[in-house]
Amino acid sequence: MIVALLYLVLAGAYLLVIPIAVLLYLKQRWYVASSIERVFMYFLVFFFFPGLLVLSPFANFRPQRRQVQV
């Protein structure tokens, strides 16, 4: 029973918790990251791809609308 619970916790962390943290990190740093940090970002996306695929319908990375002043 403990092994099954451990698998469930690890699967939840891999598919939901860590990808949410990765998405928040990417949203915060995407436009200001250095080249080495960008390589690290690509690694995170590659490593947590299944979880990011699960969360992708809910992610919105479109830039904010600009306010044009006349």
Confidence band of 65 (pLDDT split at 50, 70, 90): confident
Res 59 pLDDT > 90: no
Mean pLDDT of 57-63: 79
For residue 48, CA distances in Å to 1, 33, 65 come to 27, 19, 29
Exposed/middle/buried for residue 18 (C-beta within 10 Å: 0-12, 13-18, 19+):
middle
- Helical segments of 1-70, H only: 2-12, 18-29, 35-47, 49-55
Q: Which residues contact 48 (CB under 8 A, 6 or more apart)?
A: 14, 18, 19, 22
24-37 pLDDT, tens per residue? 998 899 889 999 99
pTM listed for this prediction:
0.77
